[in-house]
Chains A and B, each alone.
Chain A
Amino acid sequence: MIPAPFDYRRAASVDEAVSLLTEHGDEAKLLAGGHSLLPLMKLRLAQPTVLIDIGPVSDLSYIRDDGGTVRIGAMTRHHDVAFSDLVREQIPLLAEVAGQIGDPQVRHRGTIGGSIAHGDPASDLPAVLLSLRGTLVARGPGGEREIAADDFFRGFLETALAPDEVLTEIRLPAVPGVGWAFEKFARRAHDWAIVGVTAVLSNGSVGPGVGLVNMGSAPLRAAGVEEALRSGSGAGDAAARAADGTEPPDDLNASPEFRRHLAEVLVRRALESAGA
């Protein structure tokens, strides 16, 4: 319940955060909404010696229409993403997913950047990112760089962010009117998904994107499903490939075999619902 002691620094700007990260190296973690990090610290599963609080950074909370791309500041809260008119119109999948993360209290604090940077395969937002083939923007001591979603998730709680980088922005294509669906299969409404599926159909220029939640040690896309869709398969046939290349976890909620089965069912339902 009580975190181990740590030193606390505040950053009022991204650059300040970067220089603090550079100063403290591996010992430091960024604190944004705190709803991925603090629960781990309270169970003493994470014991960073320095926390860098970027709560005071005021210019990372925004949602902007950039003509075909929606740009979201990393510190934007899940609640604000879910209720944003712009997101609801342009990327309704994202609004739906953000609105189902945790519970209302969690959504008032948790941030889109914090959740994505955490790199948890059981989180829903990474699957959205993969479905939409989004781009992450990070700033480090060497300046700013863009990272494609497909290059971002490396392993369990491991992303492409360097220890001295701050995730600043998430960029997603606007897909108004494109068929989409989100299937989240969970024990209770506020639980993490046992298996989740995010689906966006092809919009003509960008191919279909299907992301999987909790089907591996890292967030991943249902590549087999996407390939089947691209070659003209219907929802059922495409869904049969849902578990291709996945190594679903074995835990209290489900065995790998059941997860594979669920993935197929949920992908089919998602594709049918999206209009495939």
Chain B
Amino acid sequence: MTATETPPAAGAGAAGEDGGGVVGQRMLRKEDARLLTGEGRYVDDLQIPGALWMGMVRSPFAHARIGSIDASDALAMPGVRAVFTGDDLADEWAAAMPCAWPVTDDMKAPDHWPVARGKACYVGDIVAVVVAESRYQAADAVDAVVVDYDPLDPAVDLEDAASDRVVIHDDLGTNKSYTWTLSPDPDAVDRAFAQAVHTVSERYVQQRLIPVAMETRGVAVVPGVYGGDVTVYSATQIPHILKVMIAATCGVPEQKLRVVAPSVGGAFGSKLDVYAEELIAVALARRLGTPTRWTEGRSENSVATIQGRGQVQHMELAADGDGRVTAVRARLTADMGAYMQLVTPGIPLLGAFLYHGVYDVPAYHFECTGVFTNCTPTDAYRGAGRPEATYALERAMDSLARTVGVDGAEIRRRNYIAPDKFPYESVAGLTYDSGNYEPTLDRALELVGYDDLRAEQQRRRGAGERKHLGVGISTYVEMCGLAPSRVLASLKYAAGGWEAATVSVLPTGKVQVVSGATPHGQGHETSWSQIVADRLGVDPADIEVLHSDTALSPHGMDTYGSRSLPVGGVAVAMAADEVIAKARTIAAHQLEASEDDLELVGGDLRVKGTPTRSMTLQEVAFEAFSAHDLPDGTDPVLTAQVTFDPPNFVFPFGTHVAVVEVDEDTGEVDLLDYAAVDDCGPQVNPMIVEGQIHGGIVQGVAQALWEEAVYDADGTLRNPSLIDYCVPSAAELPSFKLDHTVTPSPTNLLGVKGIGEAGTIGSAPTVINAIVDALAPLGVTDVAMPAHPERVWTAIQEAQGR
């Protein structure tokens, strides 16, 4: 497809000067063979002789004082070794459960202990832990623990919670945790609204979502009883961060701790956390001197694992007579849930800078108030703040289009940031690295046959047909590649955003890559092999990528926020380049040439002009290892460790278009077609990129059409199982039409941007815009998510005054 004017960054495939690299190829994945044959090793697969099984006794009340806990029946059951309450475990904790992002200096957050003490604050809050010899016995014992609860009035609805009618955490005195504001020039915003020819003012609800990784969570802790070492196997996407947090919370000396994420069956942000069960497993394994493990059930996961989204959004646009947006004002109330998990308060803020998105807007106001509720804590879920921003903006832009009297494509064209404005200094304080939005719109419309669709839509309307055709558009930009550490500091996020990589050429010429990234489906072993293969001129099959085990990969900041390629992959490339530099020094010495006279071609270091004077990388590696003839000061190991702290976020972008058919009589929405044209810069492995986009699209479409965590007034989750929480199957979906543009990022040597979340960021508003477009003649201007049949049908009835 079309590349834009900027040539691909010089770094990509530089070693392959003779052309034909592996980067950019649809190389089949190295990960597949073991996963396809049942050789994956997820936490529950691990066979740990002598391990005891934990079962969690969870509060069935959203808000209740915990009275007596009678474990006598449970303790009498076969195989049950122990039952622990919150008070029993009080001395196990060196610190309360961590929140890594206190977003304001005055942010209010309750102490959060792994097992509740005194009060349960959400359905699912752990109040006791049973330990038994088998998973079946643990399940039986959980049912036999008798807990005396004194139920309290819960605060479930977000706006009710914000009113403080019921205060959840007595020591805080309020449910409002923080208000965070980004408002560079409030007067400019007010003036823009005062002078606006057109305004849009809308309220949207980002419903709570259950991430539903197909593998539920699990943990197994193996203690070395005499040595004091502790090995933690966890279905986590953050083994490095978890290690630090376990050390801090459980008081395990960090140097004795090893954290392993074995095969992990999907995460989407829901395993980017430090969970009570992990900490309890560590504490009990050490206390009992026995391996201790736990595997989460599915209905359990729905309440025990963080949920995503959970916001009420007030979105306002001011625009001139041509529909050019002059100001954006976005105000959110964000549902924290009962407690802060690792990144809970910051998730809405990850979108704070993007409520004007791809549009050139001069005045901007964003504020967010975080509020506690008696529901499962929220935290990162694919997109984490950016889908919410894109949804509000892209819905509002369609409203603006209707107000101005132009179609959705036209309103966007009038407002896109022009391609010659990059790097673009946004009113929100970001510098967008690169962008070229309009070609993605053009191509996406072409892929769906936009003009023909509009013609068909007109025909159906003229014929009074009751199956309405609709086309929805969204253009998104997102900020990912989390993140420049100094920016994180300015936002008060407790950790950094660098990544580490080590590349070693072993004495026999094989290559080992150690990465701090922690893949759980993204195919890093393949992509990193491609990057290193091109740079070193080595066969990808001769490269082994090690990761996700702090004993093998001691340094890293893990995988989330679409950071692995633009931060971790770049680090890998940099490390490979340093290895080449070291090899050059050795080869120059041994070939009696100057380093500048050497070129690396196809794995050989050769003297330019005299190709017979050469050494293979393997020969250099062995020369290093034997150290018989190295220049003074040269290490006898051909290895390089690099860390990369990105100078900026990266800003992938794209346009998605959805085509729907809405049945006026039943409210049923059928997704007929979906096109996505995305730009993440040069693609290391287009096959993997497309796969990330496919999966991302479906999660956003699912938010638009099917998914919602439904709470009743008591704070009970009504749909914890997959019978009622409607994750779509293949039967509900079409195949997708994908294309891409390539607009490299100038901020890293590969020119790459992240893509893992982009599909989800672009898709939900695309679908809802399509539904509203379909039903516009009936007077419908909004349908809340998920747009299930009754909701759509009701919107039609109300618009028609029935």
A residues at B contact (CB < 8 Å): 1-2, 4-5, 43-44, 185, 187-191, 194, 252-255, 258, 261-262, 265-266
| Cα(A43)–Cα(B789), bound, Å | 28
B residues at A contact (CB < 8 Å): 135-136, 139-140, 143, 297-299, 665-666, 668, 706, 710, 718-719, 721, 723-724, 726, 728-729, 731-732, 788-790, 793-794
Chain B residue contacts of A253, Cβ below 8 A: 788, 790
By beta carbon, the residue of chain B nearest A262 is B666
Chain A residue contacts of B140, Cβ below 8 A: 2, 4-5
| Cα(A223)–Cα(B790), bound, Å | 25
The 8 Å CB contact of A1, one of B298, B726, B729, B789, is B298
Subset of 20 A-B contacts with CB under 8 Å:
A1-B297, A1-B298, A2-B135, A43-B299, A185-B668, A187-B789, A188-B706, A188-B728, A188-B729, A188-B731, A189-B729, A190-B731, A191-B723, A194-B789, A252-B710, A254-B790, A258-B789, A258-B794, A262-B789, A265-B666
- Asked whether, in the complex, the Cβ of A252 is within 8 Å of the Cβ of B790, the reply is no
- Asked whether, in the complex, the Cβ of A2 is within 8 Å of the Cβ of B706, the reply is no
What is the number of contacts between chain A and chain B, taking CB atoms within 8 Å? Answer: 52
By beta carbon, the residue of chain A nearest B791 is A258
- Asked whether, in the complex, the Cβ of A255 is within 8 Å of the Cβ of B790, the reply is yes
The 8 Å CB contact of A2, one of B136, B710, B721, B726, is B136
Chain A residue contacts of B666, Cβ below 8 A: 185, 262, 265-266
| Cα(A141)–Cα(B216), bound, Å | 47
Q: Which 6 residue pairs across A and B have the least CB separation, nearest first?
A: A189-B731, A2-B139, A258-B790, A1-B297, A265-B665, A187-B726
Chain B residue contacts of A44, Cβ below 8 A: 143
Chain B residue contacts of A194, Cβ below 8 A: 789
The residue among A2, A255, A265 with the most chain B CB atoms within 10 A of its own CB is: A2
Asked if A252 meets B724 with Cβ closer than 8 Å, knowing A2-B135, A188-B732, A189-B732, the reply is: yes
| Cα(A253)–Cα(B725), bound, Å | 10
Chain A residue contacts of B794, Cβ below 8 A: 258
| Cα(A254)–Cα(B668), bound, Å | 12
How close is A272's CB to chain B, nearest CB, in angstroms? 12
How close is B661's CB to chain A, nearest CB, in angstroms? 15
How close is A273's CB to chain B, nearest CB, in angstroms? 14
| Cα(A255)–Cα(B797), bound, Å | 15
| Cα(A191)–Cα(B724), bound, Å | 9
| Cα(A1)–Cα(B726), bound, Å | 19
- Asked whether, in the complex, the Cβ of A187 is within 8 Å of the Cβ of B788, the reply is yes
- Asked whether, in the complex, the Cβ of B135 is within 8 Å of the Cβ of A188, the reply is no
| Cα(A185)–Cα(B665), bound, Å | 12
- Asked whether, in the complex, the Cβ of A258 is within 8 Å of the Cβ of B793, the reply is yes
Chain B residue contacts of A261, Cβ below 8 A: 793
Asked if A188 meets B139 with Cβ closer than 8 Å, knowing A252-B718, A265-B665, A265-B666, the reply is: no
Chain B residue contacts of A43, Cβ below 8 A: 299, 721
The residue among A1, A43, A194, A253 with the most chain B CB atoms within 10 A of its own CB is: A1
The 8 Å CB contact of A188, one of B136, B718, B726, B790, is B726
Other than the given A4-B140, A187-B788, A252-B724, 9 more pairs (CB < 8 A) read A2-B135, A43-B721, A44-B143, A188-B731, A190-B731, A255-B790, A258-B794, A265-B665, A265-B666
| Cα(A254)–Cα(B789), bound, Å | 8
| Cα(A4)–Cα(B710), bound, Å | 28
Chain B residue contacts of A191, Cβ below 8 A: 723, 726
